[in-house]
Structure 1
Amino acid sequence: MLRMRLPTINYQILSKFLILICSFFASLYVFGQDPVEALIKRHQIPESKLSIILEDAESGKRLIDINSNDSRSPGSVTKLFTAFAALDLLSKKYQWRTEAYISQNANDREKIDHLLIKGGGDPSFSIDDLENLILKIRATGIQEIRGGIYLDQSFFGQRKKSTGSFDESPLRPYNTMHSSLIVNSNKLDLNFNLNPQTKKIAITPLFLPRGVKIQNNLSVGFGECMDFRSQVGFEEQFSKKILTIVINGVYPDQCSNMDHDLAITKTEHYFFGSFKKLWLDSGGTINGYFKRQKKSEKDALIAQIFSEDLNSVLKLMLKESDNLISRNIFLSLAENSTRKKLRNTRKLVYKSMKENNVFWHKRNFIDNGSGLSRKSNLKPDSVMGLIEKIDQDARFIEIKSMLPISGIDGTLKNIYQSSLLQGQMRLKTGTLNGVRCLAGFITSTSGKDYRFVFMHNNFDEYEYDMRSFTTDLLNAIVSEELIASD
């Protein structure tokens, strides 16, 4: 019987061969696809509610691509498009101006019948700015305004809707509507201080315009500072040119001190009250009230204030996700147009995207520039197209530096604070009920740069923890756990 001698197996060579084969097949997978799907399943999130895109910033290769063509509600990610169009259609040095006029026929410059203030859409016009404008007016010799002031709100041609139309919370600052002439964003910054002996709550405003009063109806009861919003309510009452903020509810007894801001809805009343207070403080006298009236050719310019440049205002808008600023910037895009309606502004933004070769789908819709809308919808592919353009075009690269930094500032200051994620991401957030979005730039621990778009829409009740999922996903990207070995 013949015996066959089997060849000797070189296990070292076989091992290298198997590793080579495994590496080859691993390279056939789309980077990160399987691990991401596993993460989605582990968190029990319906994949149909998610869109995720991750790109290698150097090569442009898509490493994760999930539902990138599904239209999504973007929330405040919309502000990226507003910022981009502003830099394209205006200029980084663009400034808004607020002007003061008197009648050319005024014979007595010390005592005038009326003063007219024309708004130029300045979204960051502050109490300090108004005070500086008043000092300039007073420097012309005007001492007394006998008949009140005229307010010219004609810079924007767009009518305003109710500030509470979005979520029935009209006094929340994020609901403040666009305005050609607005000061301090209509804000009342209130400090609540509980006296532990008397159990009385003192409410102190940082600045209180004339004609605005606070009615404190609070009682003290059980609770902590985190219960303040659910236990304390605010209401406006307007009568005989007096606006009263009525504060009702139960102040939590474990909260010794609390700062809370709100924004009143009567923009012209707030402006007039602020003007009157500062005018009287300057030593002037004023009678009457305000009246809406456009500037005429018979009015002479006597003073003006310019805003900070566009770049500075954009940084504030993107870092803090300020809705009023974004709305005013959005409408300012049509300054040189004969048609200043919102519809025309949208067309200008869409045109800006197309002319700059940003992928723009015909079904995309931007409602008001802030993202505070249930009507806005964008394709994730379009959001990524914008992120790519910002990253690659020197005209828009500054937007990248304006974005919140994880765990450090802006809307990301108090989240993603772990040693792994802090400082590794520059992302624009977008959050509404049922909406959670992120878009921007990520740097891994090895220094590799990525572009990232994340959009979650689910308007039904759900039990999964979206914050936990996004944190796990970002951890995996930053640590490069999703990266297949070469």
Structure 2
Amino acid sequence: MKNHPFWHIAIFCVLVFILPSCNSLRKLATSRDIDTYLKQSEIFRKEFTGFALYDPLSGKYLKTKNADLYFTPASNTKILTTFACLTSLPDSIPSFLAQRFADTIRLEPLGDPTFLHTDFPTQPVINKLKNKTIEIHLPESELTPFGPGWAWDDYQYSYQTERSWMPIYGNEVRIFNRDTLSVVPAFFKDYISLFVGEKPGSLVYRERKFNLFNIWMEHDTSSFERKIPFDYSHELLARLLSDTTNAGVSFSKTPLSSYNTLYNEALIPVLTLMMQRSDNFLAEQLLITAARYSGYNNLDAFRNHLLSEWHLSSPIQWVDGSGLSRYNLFTPKSLVEVLSQIYGQLSWNEIEMIFPTGGASGTLKNWYPGNPPYVFAKTGTLSNNHCLSGFIVTNSGRKLIFSFMNNNYLSPVSEVKREMQLVLEAIRNAY
């Protein structure tokens, strides 16, 4: 009877019915485990946590927690700035509108952060300006050096460099000591005082409205690099540009009557640097450039225009390009919706290049490792706030989009990251 064909057929039918069900139960159990962990984790229970996991192929959310509530995104704001640049700028960054005469060139700056920035050595624009008298026409509207909600007493730190309509040298001083002291721009060399010995709390220091810099090093032969923002002014801009181009520089209130556009660095590599090291200056100025190139001098109006074009499911509060402001308020779903549009516009190779890679690059170099890497995402950190939004590649090869937002915790951020890593690893393994 054991060898009767009927039993073979019966067993086969039972297996066909049971095996898919077991597979579904396995996935459901894993999903429940993740839900339970999000709800019962001792870390997540003591903070405000939001999470959204989205499958762009099916167009469905696989998991959500507080996904429609508002969080401080910190540098996750740079995801919106990246998409603004991708949708508003050409392949190279527009640096100036230019009107040429025989021995004079008139410029209308577009906010290009790469102009004479030491991280971008090629500088296609600068040779077109040398040995010509330069007239600069600036927008009539004022651009405050700091964005709304920025900490006024962080003025001397390189993560809060001043914004301007026409940045130059990254709006900061870079001081290097290898065998000899080097200062960029060299104009500031006579404005720097070096001190040897124990630092008094900060390696660099300047007063709020004075470009006098105090630099500390451990001993006379110390090798070091220091960066500190300078106090920006139109007078200083003219002096720095004149020194660099060997030409006179002045300002004009008369708009350009006709012009060509001068382009500087390629866009994708600049976005990559901005996202990989979470560079606030690049983010702020790139958003200004996108606005100016699109015909806007009012940044609020430009952001509102973008949001109307992006058709997010819920309104958000977006006030700067970098995420330095605590006035920014996003939902996990709003970040997923922007990431989904980025996913539809860029190749996967470009996404891997622009977004930090878990265990390998940028702000994720020491977190979320995998072989192969499975997390490609942007961090966002302010005191008591840490967010991570981007892409997960699962063990089955699916590419999912997620936003993980944590606000108002008192535990060390490393503990929050460890909890997040457990959840992301579970998602990688489950899907």
Q: Same-fold call, TM > 0.5?
A: yes
Specify the alignment match of 2:212 in structure 1.
244
Aligned partner of 1:360 in structure 2 is 313
**1:88-99 equivalent positions in 2, closer than 5 A:** 88-92=87-91, 95-97=94-96, 99=98
Matched, 1:350 2:299: no
Amino acid corresponding to residue 444 of structure 1 in structure 2: T
- d(CA) in 2 for partners of 1:396 and 1:157? 40
Instruction: Tell whether 2:231 aligns with 1:265.
Output: yes
Q: Which residue of 1 aligns with 2:367?
A: 416
Change (3 A) 1:400 1:350: farther
Tell me the residue number matched to 2:182: 205
User: C-alpha displacement at 1:317, in angstroms?
Assistant: 2.6
Counterpart-to-counterpart distance in 2, 1:253 and 1:468: 38
- 5+ residue gaps, structure 1: 1-11, 194-201, 222-227
The offset of 1:96, in angstroms, is: 2.9
Q: Which residue of 2 aligns with 1:318?
A: 275
Whether contact under 8 Å (2:94, 2:289) holds in the other structure is no
CA offsets 1:57-80 (integer angstroms, 9 cap, x no match) = 543443331111110111121222
Q: TM-score normalised to the size of structure 1?
A: 0.71
Equivalent pair of 1:209/1:277 in contact (CA under 8 Å): no
After superposition, residues 13-412 of structure 1 pair within 5 angstroms as 23=22, 26=25, 29=28, 31-38=30-37, 41-46=40-45, 49-92=48-91, 95-97=94-96, 99=98, 117-126=107-116, 133=126, 136-138=129-131, 151-154=136-139, 157-162=141-146, 165-166=150-151, 168-192=153-177, 204-210=181-187, 213-216=190-193, 218-221=195-198, 230-236=201-207, 243-247=211-215, 251-252=217-218, 256-280=222-246, 292-296=251-255, 305-335=262-292, 340-354=297-311, 359-362=312-315, 364-393=316-345, 398-399=350-351, 401-412=353-364
| Deviates further, 161-170 or 371-380 | 161-170
Alpha-carbon distance in 2 for matches of 1:150, 1:90? 25
Provide closer, same or farther for how the CA distance between residues 254 and 68 of structure 1 changes in structure 2, counting only shifts above 3 A. farther
- What is the CA–CA distance in structure 1 between the aligned matches of 2:42 and 2:325, rounded to whole Å? 28
23-32 or 442-451, larger mean C-alpha shift:
23-32
Deviations 1:247-269 (A, max 9, x none): 36xx4579943322222122535
Q: Which residue of 2 aligns with 1:225?
A: none
Describe the shift of the 1:408–1:98 C-alpha distance in structure 2 as closer, same or farther (beyond 3 A): farther
CA contact (8 A) 2:72 2:326 kept: yes
Distance 1:41 1:442, change over 3 A: same
Instruction: Find the residue that maps to 1:85 and give its secondary structure.
Output: helix
Secondary structure of 1:374's aligned partner? coil
SS in 1 for 2:302: helix
Query: Any gaps of 5 or more consecutive residues in structure 2?
Result: 1-10
Describe the shift of the 1:337–1:91 C-alpha distance in structure 2 as closer, same or farther (beyond 3 A): closer
Distance 2:396 2:24 in 1: 25
Judging by fraction of residues, say which structure has more helix.
2
Q: Contact between 1:129 and 1:305, CA under 8 Å: does it hold in 2? A: no
1:448 Cα deviation (Å)?
3.2
The normalised TM-score by structure 2 is 0.79
Q: Is the 8 A contact 1:89 1:352 kept in 2?
A: no
Report the alpha carbon displacement of residue 429 of structure 1 after superposing the two structures with TM.
1.6
Give the secondary structure class of the aligned counterpart of 2:186: coil
Q: How far 1:375 sits from its partner (Å)? A: 0.5
Q: Secondary structure at the match of 2:153?
A: coil
- Asked if the contact 2:162/2:229 (under 8 Å) is kept, the reply is no
Counterpart residue identity of residue 143, structure 2: R
Give the CA deviation at 1:216: 2.9
Q: Are the aligned partners of 2:110 and 2:292 in contact in 1 as well (CA < 8 Å)? A: no
**Kindly tell me: are residues 135 and 60 of structure 1, through their superposed partners in 2, closer, same or farther at Cα, counting changes over 3 Å?**
closer
Which is worse superposed, 255-264 or 390-399?
A: 390-399
- Counterpart for residue 386 of structure 2: 436
Of all paired residues, the percent bearing the same amino acid is 20
The aligned residue for residue 197 of structure 1 is: none
Q: Which amino acid aligns with 2:52?
A: I
- What secondary structure is seen at the aligned counterpart in 1 of 2:401? strand
Aligned pair in 2 of structure 1 residues 307, 267: CA closer, same or farther (>3 Å)?
farther
Farther-moved stretch of structure 1 (327-336 vs 182-191): 327-336
Q: Provide the residue aligned with 1:9 in structure 2.
A: none
Give the count of matched residue pairs. 415
Amino acid at match of 1:294: K
Q: Which of 168-177 and 343-352 deviates more?
A: 168-177
**How far does residue 124 in structure 1 lie from its aligned partner after superposition?**
1.3
* TM-aligned CA distance change 1:152 to 1:44, over 3 Å: same
The higher radius of gyration belongs to 1
- Aligned-residue offset at 1:353: 0.8
Paired AA for residue 110 in structure 2: G
8 Å CA contact retained: 2:137, 2:255: no
Is the Cα contact below 8 Å between 1:158 and 1:340 reproduced in 2? no
